Amino acid sequence: MSQDAAGDATTEGDLRNTGMSLKHDREWDYELERIIDEIEEKDAKKVGLQFPEGLKRRGPAVADDLRELAPDDVTFMLSGQPCYGACDLDTFLMRRTDVFVHFGHSPMKNSEKIIYVPLFSNVDVFPMMEDALEELPEDDVGLVTTAQHMNLFPEMKEWLQEKGYEVHTRKGDDRLTNEGQVLGCNYASADIDADQVLYVGGGKFHPLGLAMEHPDKKVVIADPVNNVVTVADTEKFMKQRYGAVHRAMDAEKWGVIFCTKIGQGRWEMAEKIVEENDNAYLITMDEVTPDRLRNFDMDAFVNTGCPRITTDDGPQFHKPMLTPGEYEIAVGHEPLDSLEFDTFHGTW
Amino acid sequence: MSQDAAGDATTEGDLRNTGMSLKHDREWDYELERIIDEIEEKDAKKVGLQFPEGLKRRGPAVADDLRELAPDDVTFMLSGQPCYGACDLDTFLMRRTDVFVHFGHSPMKNSEKIIYVPLFSNVDVFPMMEDALEELPEDDVGLVTTAQHMNLFPEMKEWLQEKGYEVHTRKGDDRLTNEGQVLGCNYASADIDADQVLYVGGGKFHPLGLAMEHPDKKVVIADPVNNVVTVADTEKFMKQRYGAVHRAMDAEKWGVIFCTKIGQGRWEMAEKIVEENDNAYLITMDEVTPDRLRNFDMDAFVNTGCPRITTDDGPQFHKPMLTPGEYEIAVGHEPLDSLEFDTFHGTW
């Protein structure tokens, strides 16, 4: 079991279910010429290719196309590591190849060796934006989207302005590459002066995070991939969070997870918890999965790594798993009403 | 899913099921004094502890004992990575700690920083050896065991000699640390001049590998952990292997798995397959699990990593998974009767 195995789980907002019943087939530009240029310039012999889970099946065809274009002595390798986001950069393969191509996510780590190929969706976003308007009655609106639709962001903004809105956008912080971009763990681009935010993109994973981080705002989802407009509803998630905190209040032995992936290493936070609690034990791992934790005899876990593992996959773990902020509530250091969404800032 | 998730699988010989219904509780000597000496000598501040899956639940108690004995400013970290054998050494945690303790397996990689603590079972092996005698009618017998019982190996040998046997033992090759030791992937210690071999140890994982590697020998299992004597029967496994080879004969697209764990990197082998087959694609990963391969659109896989993933977990993958030797049969380079067990030699 692992985050991978949850394919048949029905968690709302689950990234892995996104697109299971796509209304539109998407096409992608893999920027083969740019990759070949880099291979030739670096005289590369080993080239690594990493695709997000949903596009792994396209990998062999992309490798075929590259093999036709590249010199004969170049070996292409596909990363088989799980890949759901920018933090999942396969650093092992990266270190062992001359050129390493990461498809579909914004940069989390920069290196001479890495080529980031953004995969922009060719889906028309405006019909769903049109449908979303009736859920956006106020004059001011925030606008955010994901890496896949960033290429259309200026057009989306203009379109909303033409409809008469005052459109609020910002770049957010250092962890975000582009204006208006959101990540599963960072919604600083929605720290804007509007009570309603329009999210344009596929699935509910990002807008649910956004709504948890900004509980005071109405988050309207224009999903051009599944052809649907909805309003983010965090009630089920929040009930789960409070439930997990309550169940963890009786815990004696705590496992404190330190995730070794780039972009997730909150060492000081993990160390502080262990220093202050004699019944807390540091556990290090890359993929944080139910099976990896099952053999540890703990009463509860606090995850200093990806907050989405905690909030979205939490119910699949055999013991309560909390974010660091929720841990502080469970052990009585903070009041229950201090509960808020756990976000990451900066890059590592 | 992953090798971890197979806890409820009923694969015979499955390492993970070993000891699920122990007849004897085992006690272990974690050699705390040796670890503390090393911490003090190196003035270590960060200490990593890695336990095999079956002992992970003891980790917190061992950490507690060490915390009492060590200077106050030492932080102990438990590896949460899956650990089934010597190849699973957590190199990430090892690199980031001053002292790294790996419990329960023989060394696969040596480093100033690593302390290997063998965990010798305190179970009495001789009652089951006594019971095994009636399955060993010949005068010559080979003797092998696992790391857990190595401390008793000279006594076992003497005991058999006293019973009148000519006992054949050997160290095997460089991959093996001790005379008479077997690993899941290496049975060179059974390359001896006897038609019957006595395996002393828990579970069927090792003796089944031994019997597959040496199909001409009778492998008798004296299992002092589960209090049982049996004769290794590879028929089910061999049928599965032939079945997988036959199903893979129609495959067009092959995924060639290169495992990135220490001790498993057969790069030349993987590269050769890809060079000779235009429809073969290199896929790199650390944990080789059904879920990680499901998203790759391949007809069959050939695994150059751990042979036990292929033979023991094979049926759990969505497409046939073969060893490199079986691949050569499936693509018609070798005859069907060349099928043999895949073993690893040397260390990396």
> Chain B: nearest CA to A265, how far in angstroms?
13
pTM attached to this predicted model: 0.87
For chain B, first and last CA: distance in Å?
A: 28
Domain endpoint, select from A215, A231, A247: A231
Q: Identify the pLDDT of residue B23.
A: 53
Find which of B72, B73, B77 to mutate to test the A interface (most A CBs within 10 Å of its CB): B77
Nearest to B53 among A78, A79, A295 (CB): A295
Nearest to B1 among A1, A284, A296 (CB): A1
CB count, 10 Å around CB of A88?
A: 24
Is A13 a member of any domain? no
The structure tokens listed for B306 are: 């751990």
Nearest to A292 among B54, B80, B293 (CB): B80
Q: Note whether B232 and B208 are within 8 A (CB).
A: yes
Find which of A292, A298, A301, A303 to mutate to test the B interface (most B CBs within 10 Å of its CB): A292
Restricting to A residues 79-118, those with a Cβ less than 8 Å away from any Cβ of B are 79-82, 90, 92-93
Across the interface, do A79 and B291 touch by the CB < 8 Å criterion? no
Sign, Cα dihedral of A63, A64, A65, A67? positive
Is A4 a member of any domain? no
Residue B115's DSSP bridge partners are: B101
Positions in chain A short of pLDDT 70: 1-26, 346-348
Q: Are residues B134 and B102 in the same domain?
A: no
Q: Note whether A180 and A165 are within 8 A (CB).
A: no
**What is the total residue count of chain B?**
348
Nearest to A297 among B60, B253, B274 (CB): B60
Is A22 a member of any domain? no
Which residue is closest to A290 within chain B, CA to CA?
B5
Is A345 a member of any domain? no
Q: Identify the pLDDT of residue B5.
A: 35
Q: Identify the pLDDT of residue A23.
A: 54
Q: Identify the pLDDT of residue A4.
A: 38
Is B14 a member of any domain? no
Is B3 a member of any domain? no
Q: Identify the pLDDT of residue A176.
A: 84
Q: Are residues A168 and A216 in the same domain?
A: yes
Distances (CA, A) of B153 to A124, A209, A239, B258: 71, 58, 57, 35
Q: Are residues A250 and A305 in the same domain?
A: yes
Q: Are residues A91 and A138 in the same domain?
A: no
Mean pLDDT by 10 residues, chain B (348 residues): 36 39 66 97 97 92 95 96 94 95 90 93 94 98 95 97 98 87 92 97 93 95 95 93 96 97 90 95 96 94 95 93 97 93 74
Sheet containing A99-103, strands listed edge to edge, beginning at the edge strand earlier in sequence: A114-117, A99-103, A46-50, A75-79, B280-285, B254-259, B300-303, B321-322
A-B C-beta contacts closer than 8 Å: 138
> Chain A: nearest CA to B283, how far in angstroms?
5
Q: Are residues A100 and A80 in the same domain?
A: yes
Q: Are residues A266 and A208 in the same domain?
A: no
Across the interface, do B281 and A56 touch by the CB < 8 Å criterion? no
Which residue is closest to A273 within chain B, CA to CA?
B75
Is B328 a member of any domain? yes
The CATH code of the domain that includes A332 is: 3.40.50.11860
Q: Which domain holds residue A184?
A: 126-231
Least Cα distance to B257 among A94, A91, A79, A286 occurs for A79
With H, G, I as helix, E, B as strand and everything else as coil, classify residue A230: strand
Q: Are residues B227 and B240 in the same domain?
A: no
Residues with Cβ within 8 Å of B243's Cβ and at least 6 positions away in sequence, in order, are none
Q: Are residues A148 and A187 in the same domain?
A: yes
Across the interface, do B5 and A5 touch by the CB < 8 Å criterion? yes
Nearest to B80 among A1, A48, A285 (CB): A285
Q: Are residues B239 and B223 in the same domain?
A: no
Q: Are residues A130 and A227 in the same domain?
A: yes
Q: Identify the pLDDT of residue B287.
A: 95
Q: Are residues A219 and A244 in the same domain?
A: no
Residues of A in contact with B1 (CB under 8 A): 1-2, 4-5
Across the interface, do A4 and B282 touch by the CB < 8 Å criterion? no
Q: Note whether A52 and A84 are within 8 A (CB).
A: yes
Domain endpoint, select from A87, A117, A147: A117
Q: Identify the pLDDT of residue A11.
A: 39
Q: DSSP secondary-structure letter at A181?
A: B
Restricting to A residues 34-73, those with a Cβ less than 8 Å away from any Cβ of B are 48, 53-54, 56-57, 59-60, 63
Find which of A3, A282, A302, A316 to mutate to test the B interface (most B CBs within 10 Å of its CB): A282
Across the interface, do A63 and B297 touch by the CB < 8 Å criterion? no
Q: Are residues B243 and B301 in the same domain?
A: yes
Across the interface, do A292 and B81 touch by the CB < 8 Å criterion? yes
- Residue A159, chain B, CB below 8 Å: the answer is no
Domain endpoint, select from B117, B152, B171: B117
DSSP codes, A116-169: EE--------HHHHHHHGGG--SSEEEEEE-GGGGGGHHHHHHHHHHTT-EEE-
Is B247 a member of any domain? yes
The CATH code of the domain that includes A134 is: 3.40.50.11850
Task: Give me the number of domains chain B comprises.
Answer: 3
B152: amino acid identity, one letter: L
Across the interface, do A285 and B79 touch by the CB < 8 Å criterion? yes
Q: Identify the pLDDT of residue A25.
A: 56
The CATH code of the domain that includes A46 is: 3.40.50.11840
